Amino acid sequence: MGQFRFSSPAQVGEMLAGVGYLPSVEISSVLFLADRLKKPVLVEGPAGTGKTELAKSAAKALGARLIRLQCHEGIDESKALYEWNYKKQLLHIQSDRTGSSWSEVEANIFSEEFLLERPLLQAIRAVDSVVLLIDEVDRVEIETEALLLEVLSDYQVSIPELGTIVANQVPLVFLTSNNTRELSEALKRRCLFLFLDYPDKEREMEIVLSKVPGVSRALADSIVSFVGSLRDLDLKKRPSISETLDWALTLVSLGLDEVDESVVKSTLNVLLKYRSDMAKASKAILSS
């Protein structure tokens, strides 16, 4: 494969399937192109459609270290990129009894020994194989988004006291977004785009059958059909793929082999997490 991680989209699919992630043809193609073009992948879609899991599975398939930046409101350069260990610097200054000049002390305290690497800098400086996951990027402010864009455009970081640090490699990068706000055009242009929606019935059945030991095809069919009907309702939070799996495990653990009204009502809390959603679902079940 030379300098590339993948030899073909088909190989991507095989590698992901080998670690338990069943990709679509589109997913395999986008990851192959991201590797060839050295571009980040922006993965958008509803919560619970496997965006974060895709990055984790890619790292596992490649035998790479996963470096994760969990985004949130208020995150800044000190949490995303780097900061100085101020306490350690202060202790060093206080313990210095050599009569060194301030320029000498400053040169000492702004050195590698006092640098705290955050996820972006860790990924830039890594010498081993890494996958960088920037999770829920839509939760950061525009200023932090600009910082991400700068790092992902050149894969280098400028630290005034140390100079410019250029990446040892171009990591495989995933940015996930639940689309709670519109991302900048500049960031979108920098990335390959992948939209992950809830899977169709056939693919979700494949996932259930591969992940839930002891589930029959008939039960998996009933589970996926019912979950699909819930997703058609106007809910605050539609059931995710992981919640489909949780429900399948629940029914298998209870020794149930079919889905009926009593089973649904007694286990609906596994699928839905809001009282209003449960009320809507119960009403829909009674009227069906």
Mean pLDDT of the chain: 90
The CATH number fitting domain 9-81+118-195, selected from 3.40.190.80, 3.40.50.300, 3.20.20.140, 3.40.50.10140: 3.40.50.300
Does residue 97 have a pLDDT over 70? no
Q: Which of 177, 176, 288, 178 lies closest to 233 in space, CA to CA?
A: 288
Instruction: Assess whether pLDDT exceeds 80 at residue 214.
Output: yes
Q: Span 219-248, mean pLDDT?
A: 95
The reported pTM is 0.85
**Where would I find the H helices in 168-260?**
185-190, 201-211, 217-231, 241-253
pLDDT at 66: 98
Predicted confidence at residue 187, as pLDDT, reads 92
User: Over 70: is that where the pLDDT of 98 sits?
Assistant: no
Q: For 238-252, write each residue's pLDDT tens digit.
A: 999 999 999 999 999
Residue 57, C-beta contacts closer than 8 angstroms, at least 6 positions apart: 16, 19, 20, 21
Mean pLDDT of 68-77: 91
Distance CA 164, CA 184 (A): 26
Helices 201-211 and 241-253: angle between axes, nearest 10 degrees? 50
Burial, 6: exposed, middle or buried (Cβ in 10 Å; 0-12, 13-18, 19+)? buried
Does 92 or 166 have the greater pLDDT score? 166
Task: Quote the Cα angle for 165-167-170, to 5°.
Answer: 160
Cα separation, 194 vs 192, whole angstroms: 7
pLDDT, mean of residues 89-117: 74
When pLDDT is cut at 50, 70 and 90, the band that residue 2 belongs to is: very low
Residue 258 has pLDDT above 60, yes or no: yes
Q: Which residue type occupies 261?
A: E
For residue 223, give both structure tokens: 């589970």
Reported as a single tens digit per residue, the pLDDT across 131-168 is 999 999 999 988 888 889 888 888 988 888 888 888 88
Q: Where do the structural domains in the chain lie, given as residue ranges?
A: 9-81+118-195, 201-287
Rounded Cα gap, residues 86 and 216, in angstroms? 58
Query: What is the pLDDT averaged over residues 109-118?
Result: 85
Does residue 99 surpass a pLDDT of 80? no
